[in-house]
Structure 1
Amino acid sequence: MPTVLETRIRNRFRVQPNHANNNETLHGGTLMKWLDEVGAMSAMRFAGETCVTARVNELDFVRPIGLGDTALVEAYVYDAGRTSVRVAIRAWREEPRTGETEGTTESSFTFVAIDADGTPSPVPELSVESEEGRQLRDRALGNES
């Protein structure tokens, strides 16, 4: 059984001019793409299968990420059904010169595991074996709308 912490993935994306909107901040659609990509990687690590996006359960943009900043995206599995995987995904604005971070985005996506034929595939049970994993799972369950 995979654990919450084994599914945790962090990735960074440098916000370039082609990612920006008219306000010189990261375009929301670009951030959604990055959230989806990192979330899918987490779901696939858990399921051991290709996972496709089934639903955006929640997506809250709290503050923008500026041009020249780094978008830090973190995802981890916090719940699983028979073929579905729920992934908590957060983003921060990171100042690349200092590493200072500020939370910007809270979200939760549902992915479905599929086999080589594109048919939904069973996923394993999720294990919570550490206090840190328990805290992450509890946080995600408490934030879900």
Structure 2
Amino acid sequence: MPELLETYLENRWMVQPNHANHLGTTHGGNVLKWMDELGGMAAMRFAGESCVTARMDQVNFKRPINVGETALVEAYVYDTGTTSVKVRLKAARENPRTGEREPTTESYSVYVAVDEDGDPMEVPSLTVDSERGEELRSAALDGER
């Protein structure tokens, strides 16, 4: 059974002018795309199968990410169903010189594992074997409510 920390992924994108709106901040659609892509990768790492997005819950944009900053996205599996994988998604703006971070966006997504024909298939149970994994899972479950 896959362990939560094995699904934890983070990725960074340097925000360029082509990612920005007329205010010089990242288009929300770009942030959503980056979050969905990384969430899908976390789900696939967990399931060991292709996964498709079934639902992205409410997305809260707390602050913008400016051109020249780094968009940091974190994703990890925190719960499962029979064929579904729940993924916690968080984005932050990061100063590329100092590493200082500020949360910007958060959401929860559900992905479904599918076979070659696109039919849903069962996923394994999630295990949590570390204190850090328990902290992440608890934070996701608390925030989901």
- Tell me the TM-score range normalised by the shorter chain: over 0.9
- Three-state SS of the structure 2 residue aligned to 1:93 is strand
Provide the aligned length of Structure 1 versus Structure 2: 145
- 1:22-72 deviations in whole A, cap 9, x for unaligned? 111010000000000000000000000000000012311111100110000
Supply the RMSD in Å over aligned alpha carbons: 0.7
CA distance in 2, matches of 1:144, 1:26: 25
> Aligned partners of 1:116 and 1:14: how far apart in 2?
34
Are 2:91 and 1:91 aligned?
yes
Give secondary structure in 2 for the equivalent of 1:58: coil
Task: Spell out the pairing of 1:1-145 with structure 2 (5 A cutoff).
Answer: 1-145=1-145
Query: What amino acid sits opposite 1:49 in the alignment?
Result: E
TM-score normalized with structure 1 length: 0.98
Identity between Structure 1 and Structure 2 (%): 60
Letter in 1 for 2:115: D
Check the 8 A contact 1:58/1:144 in 2, yes or no: no
Q: Which runs of 4 or more aligned residues in structure 1 lie more than 4 Å from their structure 2 counterparts after TM superposition?
A: none
Question: Gaps spanning 5+ residues in structure 1: where?
Answer: none
Name structure 2 gaps, 5 residues minimum: none
Equivalent pair of 1:58/1:109 in contact (CA under 8 Å): no
Deviation at 1:111, TM superposition (A): 0.3
Deviation at 1:85, TM superposition (A): 0.4
| Rounded Cα–Cα distance in structure 1 between residues aligned with 2:116 and 2:67 | 39
* Matching residue's letter, 2:44: M
Specify the SS of the correspondent of 2:118: coil
TM-score (norm 2): 0.98
